[in-house]
Amino acid sequence: MDEERTTSTGRSPARTAARARARTRSGPPTGPRSGAARSRANTDRGVVTSEYAVGLIAAVGFAGVLYKVVTSDRVSAALYGLVERALDAAP
- Measured distance CA(22)–CA(38) in Å, rounded: 22
- Measured distance CA(54)–CA(61) in Å, rounded: 11
pTM of the predicted structure, to 2 decimals: 0.41
Torsion region of 63: left, alpha or beta (phi above 0 gives left; psi -120 to 50 gives alpha): alpha
pLDDT of 8-67, one tens digit each?
666 676 776 766 666 665 555 555 555 665 666 566 666 678 889 999 999 999 999 999
Contact 71, 78 (CB under 8 A): no
Strands (E), the chain: none
Contact 4, 12 (CB under 8 A): yes
